[in-house]
Structures are given as structure tokens and as C-alpha cells.
Amino acid sequence: MQRNLAAIELLRKWTEEGDEEEQRETWEYLQKALDEDRLSNRPLFARQ
């Protein structure tokens, strides 16, 4: 539980700093990277 709270706090800090465009691009890259190496054929994130 404590580790989850620490991760959530880190994500909050990241969203408060930095460039919106950079954050969007990073999120898109992360989604793609996480979906590429999945054992399942189903994507982890729904594409819009």
C-alpha cells in the first residue's frame, strides 16, 4: 500500500511539472511500448 501511494505521489508531481506536449508524447510512447511486449494479444490500453 505504501509503495502504491509513493508511486501515485510521483505521478502527481510529474503531471504538475513539464510541458503538456512532452507529457502527451511520453504517455503515447509508454502506451505503445507497454502494449508491444505483452503476452496477451489484447492491448493494455484502449486506443482512441
Residue ranges per structural domain of the chain? 19-48
Instruction: Determine the pLDDT at residue 25.
Output: 92
Q: CA angle at residue 10 from 31 to 29, to 5 degrees?
A: 15
pTM score > 0.95 for this model?
no
Q: Name the grid cell of 12.
A: 502527481
Question: Could you tell me what percent of the chain has a pLDDT over 70?
Answer: 96
Could you report the per-residue pLDDT of 20-43, keeping only the tens digit for each?
888 889 888 988 888 887 777 777
Report how far residue 15's alpha carbon sits from residue 9's, in angstroms, rounded to the nearest whole number.
Answer: 10
pLDDT band per the 50, 70, 90 thresholds, residue 48: low
Residues of the chain by 3-state class (helix, strand, coil), percent to 5: 65, 0, 35
